[in-house]
Amino acid sequence: MEIHIRTYREMLASFSERDLVCTLGQLYHRAVHAIDSAIYSDREKQAWSPEPPGLDWTQRFRDAPPWIALQKERIIGFMNLQKDAHIDLAFVDPEFQRQGISEK
């Protein structure tokens, strides 16, 4: 499987910022709810992400722009770092987990 990594800025050449933020938020929500219930209970996952984050994440991504993993044109994961270099978010679409996406 060929994976390409693009910056947030590069992705904005193909997506509106609104669509990109919403797509990443939906992926995040799906990934949270796909976590094994032996690790996090359904109640914990619901508290963590009761619904996909919306446009309120726009500033978050402007402040800490993610790298985005794509297979062909499909967004399959993303990761970003805080200004102090700590990982803020790192999520992979459940359909693509356990395939080494985060190692790219």
In a domain, 70, yes or no: yes
* CATH code of residue 34: 3.40.630.30
In a domain, 61, yes or no: yes
CA–CA separation, 56 and 60 (whole Å): 8
In a domain, 103, yes or no: no
In a domain, 64, yes or no: yes
Number of domains present in the structure of the chain: 1
In a domain, 104, yes or no: no
pLDDT, one tens digit per residue, over 77-96 is 999 998 888 999 999 999 87
In a domain, 41, yes or no: yes
Q: Which domain holds residue 51?
A: 4-98
- The CA distances from residue 80 to 37, 39, 40, 41, in Å, are 25, 23, 22, 25
Average pLDDT over residues 47-60: 94
In a domain, 30, yes or no: yes
In a domain, 42, yes or no: yes
Q: Is 4 a residue whose pLDDT tops 80?
A: yes
In percent, how much of the chain has pLDDT > 70?
A: 94
